[in-house]
Amino acid sequence: MNAMLRIDVRRGALATTPIENTPPKISSPKSVAAGIPAVFSTIRHGFSKMGTISSLRNLSLVNRFNGFDCPGCAWPDPDSSRSIAEFCENGAKAVADEATKKRASPEFWSRWTVKELSEKSDFWLNNQGRITHPMILEKGKHRYQEISWNKAFRIIAEKLLELPEPDQAIFYTSGRTSNEAAFLWQLLARSFGTNNLPDCSNMCHESSGFALGQSIGIGKGTVKLDDFTKADMIIVVGQNPGTNHPRMLSTLREAKASGASVISINPLLEAGMGRFKHPQKPLDLLGRGSKIADDHLSVNVNGDQALFRGFSKYLMSNNAIDKIFISQFTHGFDTYAELVHNTSWREIETMSGVDRDTIGRIGNYLAKSTSIICCWAMGLTQHKNSVATIQEIANFCLLGGHIGRPGAGLCPVRGHSNVQGDRTVGINHNPPESLLRGLLAEFGISPPHNVGADAVESVKKMMSGNSKVFLSMGGNFLSAMSDSNRTAEALMNCELTVQISTKPNRSHLVTGETALILPCLGRTEKDVSPAGEQFVTVENSMGVVHKSIGHAKPASTNLMSETSIVSGIGFALQANSTKFPRVDWKSLSQDNDLVREKIEKVIPDFCEYNSRCRLDGGFYLPNPPRDSRQFDTPSKKANFICNILSTISIPEGHYCMMTIRSHDQYNTTIYGLNDRYRGISKGRRIVLMNPEDMLNARLQKFDVVDISSHFEDRKITSRAWYVVPYSIPVGNVATYFPESNVLIPIDSVADGSNTPTSKSIEVSIRKSSV
């Protein structure tokens, strides 16, 4: 049955945002990031949502030693000192969004049916404020009603225990979840008997972890923050730091002041890689700001693997490689050298969209550089060949010995503030045996050893009826996941869906037969238990584990901490089944120090956890490639990995579509409708097209078009998008997510990592009939 028909039969809720009836407003893209507009935006969002006093108090605590970790991105803070305003514009938006004075109370939920709510935009939903009470959408009902915490826990426990087998349950996790809550979440899942632990990393940086694990023996980056001021070359590829990691621009500014060069590689020239006006530097604000990128390469969408192969070919042809490092610390060089030699320049130019002369010009700079850092984000991780692309970058760094020395290394820039920490403490559908042994030794449980379901496989399990209960610790799974209609169909196949949330989102509206919303404390809020005031810990992109302490009064007296919610479910399971493993959930729910003691006993590298996390700035987890050039691979060396060059093949008349974020959003959360740097506002259903492509397709600005994706024998059509001319390579188009996630087929995934290919989808575009 058609997915949308299934939705109509259920409660009429829409899986995607409604069609927009007016075109967006457009102006010239900006060439300067931050500056006075960022200051005004910060003030506007803070004062309008939190009020003046709360804004000043909350923003003064963001990323401070005794404050809370920003609920936005995972870019690290300085180790030894913090500025008076250790946050960026988008961090301020995230704080204001969480600390808003608006409330989505039981009265709000009783006023609207789920169908009516689904007809609102994601921006409108998010703008309704904090959820204040546990809510239930009962089978056959159309409105949520208030429910007690104990009854909610009992419903979850009873439904889980009714399942014929544990693998019919799925435990999803968002990257904002703290180390303590994430550890308890995986303990709950594995106590129940499943490794079905998908998380948001499956949709974003899974390719990085998978690729680096094979190349260097660890699925993390190999640099610290202070390496940036020691580098002489920084390559920023497939990333838009001005919007997605604005504090990174401050780091790049400092690196430039210390003598580094910066190369930008991206299909779009983003404002953040042009000039940057530091909001805390008066001379920057009043002057022209700091130039960030010394050069920009407008690579084809999915042309990065070929481009880095070209860089490697240039270095090897000019004998600009570190032969001593290669000999002592790497494996497989000869095979890789032969592969590079046999790769033609024509193939490299055609796939990358960058000519040989330009590659040679940049290659000359690279050859002279002694310390190179390569940074990337989702522009690289969401293609079919993402793993191969990231391994090509690793190969490039190995050629020059740019791992394990100051100012050099690999730097995947993570999104959510603790997505890396969640994986470290056990959120993994394919867990290492060391973790399972630790759980057995400490808790006496016999965890499963099979590979569980990641995000894509979870959708398929729910669609087939092989999973009946879906529990989500934060996030907005429906909007974040690819193939929105099939994901909706999958969720509706469930008997129970549970969302641990702070604010309304679309995952609350397209649900299982019964749905629960369990409201939790936010990162900014004080957590007081019978054991006293609590704090949590997180891990940033560079492996630093540090504390986060909320100070604000909770949005409601009915909120619970995430650790208490997880423990409440575990306690209810034990109360309803003598077979469920005995874990002291009550004590764990009240004392995060006790949780950290358990983490220390189960997870390597967390020795003296409770004392070290209390130090200002926290502590670094060991990183053997970075710290001592040791590589936990079968060869005990870093591996040159050979992959055939590939890219998406697009028939004539079709386009390669990539998804992007606007400046007023973070992941699926929409803060506003102003993509300031790209000059687009008051609209999100837009498709950015090269003017030459528009001319050939006989399209004009603001024409309304239908976009269809094509994968194997499947075609998906999404109607009513506005065409916006933009400087993007010919043959490529860009659309905002989550709106365009509906076009990404569930089966279109990256080799190895199984990540949805949100950055390279074949599409056709036709004038709309709407």
Q: Which residues of 257-269 are buried (b: 16+ CB within 10 A; e: fewer)?
A: eeebbbbbbbbbb
Residues 371-394 have pLDDT tens digits of: 999 999 889 999 999 999 999 999
Give the pLDDT band (50/70/90) at residue 9: very low
Residue of higher predicted confidence among 647 and 292: 647
Q: Residue 37's pLDDT is what?
A: 63
What angle, 0 to 180 degrees and rounded to 10, lies between the N-to-C axes of helices 562-576 and 149-162?
Answer: 60
Residues 703-734 have pLDDT tens digits of: 999 999 999 999 999 999 999 999 998 999 99
CB 227 within 8 A of CB 200: no
Give the pLDDT band (50/70/90) at residue 6: very low
Residue 89: pLDDT over 80: no
CB 197 within 8 A of CB 173: yes
Kindly report the pTM of this predicted structure.
0.93
Is residue 164 reached through a cis peptide bond, with omega within 30 degrees of 0 on the bond before it?
no
**Non-local CB neighbours of 89 within 8 Å, separated by 6+ positions:** 34, 38, 41, 42, 246, 279
Residues 316-343 have pLDDT tens digits of: 999 999 999 999 999 999 999 999 999 9
H helices within 402-494, ranges in order? 419-424, 433-443, 455-464, 477-480, 484-492
Query: Percent helix, strand and coil across the chain, each rounded to 5?
Result: 40, 20, 40
Mean local confidence (pLDDT), 690-715: 96
3-state secondary structure of 650: coil
Phi, psi of 734 (to 5 degrees): -135, 145
Tell me 352's DSSP state.
Answer: H
Percent of the chain, pLDDT > 90?
A: 74
Residue 750: pLDDT over 80: yes
Residues 41-81 have pLDDT tens digits of: 666 766 677 777 777 787 777 778 888 787 777 788 888 77
Mean local confidence (pLDDT), 434-461: 95
Residue 97: pLDDT over 80: yes
153-157, 270-274, 599-603, 612-616: least confidently modelled range: 270-274
Mean local confidence (pLDDT), 543-571: 95
Phi, psi of 383 (to 5 degrees): -130, 165
Radius of gyration of the chain (CA): 25
What angle, 0 to 180 degrees and rounded to 10, lies between the N-to-C axes of helices 484-492 and 455-464?
Answer: 50
Nearest CA among 312, 317, 319 for reference residue 336: 312
> What domains can you pick out in the chain, each with its CATH number?
3-28+654-767 (2.40.40.20), 114-201+435-524+558-604 (3.40.50.740), 206-413 (3.40.228.10)
Residues 225-281 have pLDDT tens digits of: 999 999 999 999 998 766 667 778 888 888 989 999 999 999 887 766 665 545 555
**Non-local CB neighbours of 218 within 8 Å, separated by 6+ positions:** 212, 623, 624, 625, 632
Q: Residue 708's pLDDT is what?
A: 97
427-436, 491-500, 670-679: least confidently modelled range: 670-679
Residue 32: pLDDT over 60: yes
Q: Please give the mean pLDDT across all residues of the chain.
A: 90
Q: Residue 284's pLDDT is what?
A: 53
CB 271 within 8 A of CB 241: no
